[in-house]
């Protein structure tokens, strides 16, 4: 998922929001069949998502299906897979076994619909249950379809009985832990780490601060619940000219000294971890 920064949720049962979703210029649209769609609208949402996915020249789009424990997941997949989504977002993912279970279903549906094998990617929301926090180091090798991990604070708060997940604008300890474990789990699995949503879409200052925090930590993108958040995400997660120039200078310095573990650059010593970070920023690894 290199280069993908912004992920915008769009309720799949809203004709108006589906029609205008591409205007936000998000890198990926997340067509939602889960939380934003009431039980009586699930069937209609599936049909509307499939119709939208068949539209010409659409942006990249994943479908957030309903969680396995609802009994609706396979109905969702059967409805949308003929329309060839780019990926599936799995909410309330309990761990690598759930990814493997979803991958097996996608294998069968791709074969049925004559879709290239393995073409449908998987992005789980990996922290929405308490038990899921203990499995975040196990995603490596779960499936070649796995391209990113993201995390959620709202459902986790409900599960543990928290009255809120933040205090004075900052995540409380449990949610900082979930965020950090998601980041580490993504790195262990060698996939992208995508930061969670910021529900108060009117708070531009707080949102910008949280985007900056996420990028500093190592996240490569962030999810949005409102189109007005997309440009801030894209700005925050796009390396500046200065950052790219510095990264390229590190790469060039090591290229000029093959085999060196440490090189001097602008009067400072940089070592292999700096090279790894520079290559990642430039999209070279």
Give the Å distances, CA to CA, from 23 to 8, 28, 50, 58, 254: 11, 12, 19, 11, 42
Mean pLDDT of the chain: 93
Q: Which domains does the chain have, with CATH numbers?
A: 6-238 (3.20.20.60), 242-281 (no CATH)
pLDDT of residue 264: 82
The partner residues of 231 in beta bridges, in order of sequence, read: none
Tens of pLDDT, residues 155-214: 999 999 999 999 988 999 999 999 999 999 999 999 999 999 999 999 999 999 999 999
User: 253 vs 256, 269, 285, CA distance in Å?
Assistant: 5, 11, 17
- What is the pLDDT, as a whole number, of residue 285? 62
Q: With cut-offs at 50, 70 and 90, classify the pLDDT of residue 76.
A: very high
Are 153 and 175 within 8 A, CB to CB?
Answer: yes
pLDDT band at 23 (very low <50, low <70, confident <90, very high): very high
- Rounded to whole angstroms, the Cα distance separating 174 from 71 reads 29
Residues in the chain: 285
Predicted pLDDT of residue 284: 67
Which of 29-43, 210-224, 267-281 has the lowest average pLDDT? 267-281
- Model pLDDT, residue 127: 98
Angle at 2 between CA 200 and CA 84, to 5 degrees: 85
Taking residues 139-152, report their average pLDDT: 98
| Strand blocks (E) in 129-220 | 148-150, 166-167, 170-171, 192-195
The H or E element containing residue 9 is strand 6-11
pLDDT at 53 over 90: yes
Q: What is the mean pLDDT of residues 90-111?
A: 98
Q: How far apart are CA 65 and CA 207, in angstroms?
A: 26
**Most distant pair of Cα atoms in the chain: their distance:** 65
pLDDT of residue 90: 98
């Amino acid at each position: 998922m290199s280069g993908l920064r912004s992920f915008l949720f769009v309720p799949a049962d809203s004709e108006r929001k589906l029609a205008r979703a591409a205007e936000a210029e998000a890198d990926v649209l997340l067509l939602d069949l889960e939380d934003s769609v009431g039980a009586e609208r699930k069937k209609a949402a599936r049909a509307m998502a499939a119709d939208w996915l068949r539209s010409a020249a659409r942006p990249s789009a994943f479908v957030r299906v309903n969680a396995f424990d609802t009994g609706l997941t396979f109905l969702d997949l059967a409805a949308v897979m003929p329309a060839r989504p780019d990926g599936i977002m799995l909410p309330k993912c309990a761990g690598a076994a759930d990814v493997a279970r979803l991958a097996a279903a996608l294998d069968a549906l791709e074969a049925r619909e004559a879709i290239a094998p393995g073409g449908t990617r998987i992005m789980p929301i990996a922290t929405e249950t308490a038990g899921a926090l203990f499995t975040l180091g196990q995603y490596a090798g779960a499936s070649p379809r796995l391209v990113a991990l993201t995390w959620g604070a709202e459902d986790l708060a409900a599960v543990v009985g928290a009255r809120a997940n933040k205090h004075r604008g900052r995540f409380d300890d449990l949610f900082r832990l979930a965020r950090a474990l998601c980041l580490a789990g993504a790195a262990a699995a060698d996939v992208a780490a995508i930061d969670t949503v910021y529900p108060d879409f009117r708070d531009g200052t707080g949102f910008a601060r949280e985007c900056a925090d996420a990028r500093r930590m190592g996240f490569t993108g962030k999810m949005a619940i409102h189109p007005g958040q997309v440009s801030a995400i894209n700005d925050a997660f796009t390396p500046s000219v200065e950052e790219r120039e510095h990264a390229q200078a590190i790469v060039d310095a090591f290229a000029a000294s093959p085999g060196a573990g440490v090189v001097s650059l602008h009067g400072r010593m940089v070592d292999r971890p700096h090279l790894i970070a520079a290559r990642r920023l430039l999209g070279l690894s």
